[in-house]
Amino acid sequence: MGTRAPIHECLVTTHDARGKAHEFLIAYQERPELPPNEALNEILPDISFRGELVVMQSGKRVFVVDLAGGRMATLAKEAVRSFLLETAARRAHNKRLTRMQSIPVLLR
């Protein structure tokens, strides 16, 4: 990540097979001038994210903890998948609003 664009953070909660919640912190930076992120395209091929992100597991006593083992890595990927879906939905919603705002409205 660089200093050319703001860095945003969000918390994403996923659930394991037993229903236990796990929270992940995702720090990301969207940069339209970059090509689509190939690593993220492997997680969700239908969505083109242009930028970078970092995923960390939230801790109970400390801010973040190590993603120890394959199970946590799988849950982290699920958190990224949820993040990408939400980001795509937000982007589509904002495009619709922008199009609607550009239509002149006559008041009588």
Q: Tell whether pTM > 0.85.
A: no
Task: Dump pLDDT digits (tens) for 52-72.
Answer: 999 998 888 887 887 777 888
Domain count for the chain, please give it.
1
- The backbone torsions φ and ψ at residue 46, rounded to the nearest 5 degrees and listed phi first, read -80, -10
Residue 108, in any domain of the structure: no
Residue 60, in any domain of the structure: yes
Q: Which residues span the domain enclosing 55?
A: 8-99
Mean pLDDT of the 72-101 span: 80
Residue 105, in any domain of the structure: no
Residue 18, in any domain of the structure: yes
pLDDT at 79 over 90: yes
Residue 24, in any domain of the structure: yes
**What is the pLDDT confidence band of residue 98, given thresholds at 50, 70 and 90?**
low
CA dist., res. 41 & res. 98, Å (int):
26
**What is the pLDDT confidence band of residue 5, given thresholds at 50, 70 and 90?**
confident
Residue 22, in any domain of the structure: yes
What per-residue confidence (pLDDT) applies to 89? Answer: 83
Residue 3, in any domain of the structure: no
